[in-house]
Structures are given as structure tokens and as C-alpha cells.
Amino acid sequence: MDNRILNLILDKLENIEKEQQEIRNELGELRSDQQLIKSELSELRSDQQSIKSELSELRSDQQLIKSELSELRSDQQSIRNELGEMKKEICHRLDRLEQGQEAIKEFMFNAEKAFQRCEKDHKFIENLKKAIGE
């Protein structure tokens, strides 16, 4: 019976040693998994930092684009104002040109009338000379 108890105790110790070895193996795997998780976490943090940096650059670019867009709108408004002023100036000049054309047309019409009167007067004087000369 002592032998049997001793065998039972030895079997039990052997089982305990096997369980301890299994636990050590599992613990090694857990440590390996933990290292892997730490490595992945480090990569994720690095990726997060990279994303934050890119996001910051995008925000900066967005501000730059907004600023340039604002400048373009301002330039566009200035161009519209200049075009409005040019249109007014052109309309004013066209009105003056039209008035000048009307004055030239009136001058030509009056010159034609004056020329016709001169011709009539010339004929009258010629006729008068002939009448006096006869």
C-alpha cells in the first residue's frame, strides 16, 4: 500500500509537472502574443501620429485654398468693377461719337444748303450781270 501511495504521489507530481510545463508553454505563448500586441499597438500609434500629421497638413492646405479662393473672389469683384467702369466709359464715348457724327451730318447738310445757296446767288449775279450788261 505504501508503494501504491508512493506511485499515486509520483503520478500526481508528474501530472503537476506536466501541467506546470503546459502552463509555462501557454505563458510563453501569451508573452509572445503580448509582444506581438505591443508591436502592433506601437505601429498603430505610429500610424495614428502619421494620420494626425497628414490631417494637420490637409487643414493647412484647406486654409491656404480658402485664402486663395477669397483672393480670387476679391480679384473677380475688382475685375467686375473695372468692367463696369469700362462699360460706362465706352458708352459715354459712343454717345460722344454719336453726337459728333450727328454734328458732322448736320454740318454736311448745312454745307450742302450753303453750297446750293451760293450756286443760286452765283447764277443770280451772273444773270444780273447779263441784264446790266445788255
At residue 76, does pLDDT exceed 80?
Answer: yes
Mean pLDDT (whole number) for 92-105: 93
- Position 48 confidence tier, pLDDT thresholds 50, 70, 90: very high
Mean per-residue pLDDT, 95-106: 92
Given this model, what pLDDT does residue 3 score? 85
Record the pTM: 0.50
CA distance 129 to 127: 5
pLDDT beyond 90 at 2: no
Share of the chain above pLDDT 90, in %: 73
Q: Please give the Cα distance from 91 to 101 (Å, whole number).
A: 15
